[in-house]
Amino acid sequence: MHPVLKTVLGRLGLGVATLFIVSIIIFSAIEMLPGDFGQAILGQAATEETVAAFRRELGLDEPPYIRYLQWVGGAIQGDLGTSFSGRNASGTDRSREVIDLIAPRLWNTLFLASVTAIIAVPVSLFLGITSALYRNSVYDRTINTTTLTTISFPEFFVAYILILLLASLYPIFPSLANVDAATPLSERLYRSALPAFTLTLVIVAHMMRMTRAAIINLLASPYIQMARLSGASQTEVILKHALPNAWAPIATVIAFNLAYLVVGVVVVEVVFVYPGVGQLMVDAVTSRDIPVVQGCALIFAITYILLNLIADIIGIITNPRLLHPK
């Protein structure tokens, strides 16, 4: 078997094992959450009997390990269960499948993450490479200061500043990013502009500085000096000689930031009323809607594991030493 394929399969196996452990952690963490769905939904009407009846109806009176096995068994077959909410005090059952709840939201989140990534990744790479190229120049310092400033502010602050500038004072973009399934692509892009800018500002610094550092680190290596001695220009040295060896750390950081875009943007979603999966999860935690929380957490874990896997593979492919181990 080709060594790359073997390594990839090995990583994939490890990923599945990690996912399994994560599922146990998710389940036990939620088990430890204080509060009770019955009480949260029944409010003033929560007497001991009604809460007990609720727990029975939802199967919450079963021991934890049985519920865990049921959940994992379902999840493997793509069934994340049925949401708790929708069973209100009036007795009407309007609960929806967790998958149906998550799918449209997840699509929105992935859309926003992709738009942001399409802007942020090339920009960071470009800024990172050029600032390595013109190291310690005014250009380098300006880029560094600016990106470090935007990453230092909390997201909601960046978001409000952008709303103030680009929605209130100079109304170019809408402050509401309430897209839906029927929104046409152009409208969708227009509406997602401010959240995407906000996220770009928040993640550019990390990727840009990693690119710069990885390249600068290599510039001190003997083979770069050799390249210089053989008459290569600074641009050639960086693009042809340094960059290929810097892909592994850069890919890791990009993967990390992309994962963040999928799982960690709830604040931005709330500020711009963007119907993403983060907000769904926070709502679900507030109402103790356990199946939805578990489903979201599992999808987030898969996102992290997959993206890290891809970064690892890129690291292996671009590194001959890992590609041809002794």
Partner 1 sequence: MSKLEYRAIQELKYKSGQIDRRTFVRSLLATGVALPSALSLAGQVAAATPKSGGRFRMGLGHGSTTDTLDSATSENHFTLVNGYTFGNHLTEVSNTGELIPELAESFESGDAQKWVFNLRQGVEFHNGKTMTSEDVVASYNHHMGEDSTSAAKGLLTQVKSLKADGKNKVIFELENPNADFPFIVSDYHISIRPAGDMASGVGTGGYILQSFEPGVKSVLKKNPNYWKEGAAHFDEVELLSIIDPTARQNALTSGDIDAMDRVDLKTVNLFKRNKDIYIWDATGTAHYTFPMRLNVAPFDNYDLRMALKWSIKRQELVDKILLGYGAIGNDHPISTANRYHNSDLPQREFDADKAAYHYKKSGHSGKIPLSAADAAFAGAVDAAQLMAASAAEAGMEIEVIREPKDGYWSNVWNNDAKGWCACYWGGRPTEDWMFSAAYTDDTEWNDTAWKTTDSAVKFNKLVKEARAELNDNKRRELYYECQRLIYDDGGTICPIFNSYVSANSKAIATDENIAANWDSDGAKCVERWWFA
Stretch (H or E) spanning 201: helix 193-219
Site pattern 137..166 for partner 1 (x: CB under 8 A): -----------------------x--x---
Q: One symbol per residue from 190 to 229: x for binding partner 1 (CB under 8 A), - otherwise; what is it?
A: ----------------------------------------
- Interface with partner 1 includes 39 (CB under 8 A)? yes
> Residue 43 gets which letter from DSSP?
G
CB-count burial class (<10 Å; 0-12, 13-18, 19+) for 47 = exposed
- Rule CB under 8 A: is residue 234 a binding residue for partner 1? no
User: Of the ranges 70-78, 83-91, 119-127, 141-149, which one interacts with partner 1 (CB under 8 A)?
Assistant: 83-91
Are 74 and 81 a contacting pair, CB within 8 Å? Answer: yes
Give residues 261-290 in contact with partner 1 (rule: CB under 8 A): 270-273, 275, 280
Q: Which of residues 100-129 bind partner 1 (CB under 8 A)?
A: 101
Asked if residue 181 binds partner 1 (CB under 8 A), the reply is yes
* Stretch of 93-101, 142-150, 232-240, 310-318 lying at the interface with partner 1 (CB under 8 A): 93-101
**How many chain residues bind partner 1 (CB under 8 A)?**
42
| Residue 195, H or E segment | helix 193-219
Nearer to partner 1, 86 or 264 (CB): 86
Q: Of the two residues 258 and 296, which places its CB atom closer to partner 1 in the complex? A: 296
Which whole-number Å values give the CA distances from 177 to 22, 195, 257, 305, in the listed order? Answer: 32, 8, 22, 29
Q: Report the largest interatomic distance among the alpha carbons of the chain, rounded to a whole angstrom.
A: 84
3-state per-residue secondary structure call for 96-145 = CEHHHHHHHHHHHHHHHHHHHHHHHHHHHHHHHHHHHHCCCCHHHHHHHH
Contact between 233 and partner 1 per CB under 8 A: no
Provide the residue type at 256 as one letter. F
130 vs 175, beta carbon nearer partner 1: 175
Is the separation of the CB atoms in 81 and 95 below 8 Å? no
DSSP secondary structure, 45-69, as one string = G--HHHHHHHHHHTTTTS-HHHHHH
Site residues (vs partner 1, CB under 8 A): 34-36, 39, 42-48, 51, 83, 85-86, 88, 90-96, 101, 160, 163, 167-168, 171, 174-176, 178, 180-182, 270-273, 275, 280
